[in-house]
Structure 1
């Protein structure tokens, strides 16, 4: 996959960054992780399956393969659980991930600048569901960065099933690993901000990757203003660790202004529902999902007594 990335990278605006990105990624893959042999074995088995063309048929990213060995493919893909982002469909095998990513995509795609011909960065890309959508929608190259290695292997598994894959790539990098070069026309940060101890640093790092007049698509958890400017959870939030700050939309607008973004627009606020985040047999042994994270007596509160998850999408320019 890194060889394919290098080839496409050198033909794009990322050419000057290519060597550094590839070398850093190679180092990240060298970690001592006992699961890697299992993941690599799963991908080798998947490579024996027939390939097909990928397209978006809501809710699925669908790979139109013919004559897959459905049982073997399902077994191999389940070696890579939990599948959080998706959903995917390979011929008649539905990989129903925890999240219905199509619902988020449909909320944002009509509000952003067309991606055709653009160089795109997807921060915290997971297994690349959205990164593929960015490429299919017309991005010249869509680069996802995702430090969690399992999600990188999930991306490789899906890619192995695609004939003539689109110019979408996932590298095992954090935002701080990215070279300080202003090259990306559109930058997505979705479901990442609330995991940052320093939210202002994250916003500045996003800005540092963006080309002049580039567009930022920022999606994150927020609270209603009636709860104040922001909430800092003492321990967990909806059973998630490392949730550092939940701002109101006004507060988040102020943060973007302080980072000197322009044309700041709030384009969507949506409460997360069990239709969008749900337990499926693709998430492994821990079968809990959103409905288990909410107060059983009040769906407007989390199990910890905090406001239930609600997400906002902001769009702005450098």
Structure 2
């Protein structure tokens, strides 16, 4: 026979402990039928707030239980509507920020698990990760000693999971807002002790943004040479940017004698998108290593 929920929560509130034993007692009290009621979900959030040192077992249970409550129990299953998203953000955002790794992991898991979520929920999750990176505090730090202005492996992995999650703005899609957030993180962490995975994520996400949002077509070496020859004849706008790009990379291909513009049916960056990219690259006043890696990928991919 399981202990009544009120007895278990009273015990935890007194000891402020959420170890393996307490987690097992809670699992037996609130989840014998695989269902989590609204009251039980509220209790789990409150216990998560008061716990002094939640265990890994607690984080796993908390994330699993609340995800089931939000994503799988209500019809239609797999869809997080505005009401569910608002409840989740209110439950998490007691003091204007995510207070624990469990809460941030929950946000990410809901976005991953759902077939669709409101855009603002994904935006909220990305903002929490950005705040942890820029201010050197927050749920992903967990005593690892990183300072403000650095992005570690935990943050990179969380960013990747949110950006590529099926729920939210669109699967396999990086929109303009997300791209600019990544640029802001890059600029703020140029002098930091960053995880090597960060450059890879930045370049991959920017390429995906350009390919899906602006129909950027990856260039072969031959096409890159043809494009460079065409742009070299343009005195302003897109030509100045790509000319500077190839020069900065130290890989300016020789023009072919009969080089022609790429066909209109194979569009690359529009002038507006090229202007946006140039503006983002110029924002920090120098061609930094991540921007160099991005431009090289665009030219040589």
Same fold? TM cut 0.5:
no
- Say which structure is richer in helix: 2
- Say which structure is richer in strand: 1
Larger radius of gyration: 2
More contact order relative to length (CA 8 Å, sep ≥ 6):
1
Q: Give the structure-2-normalised TM-score.
A: 0.29
Q: Give the structure-1-normalised TM-score.
A: 0.28
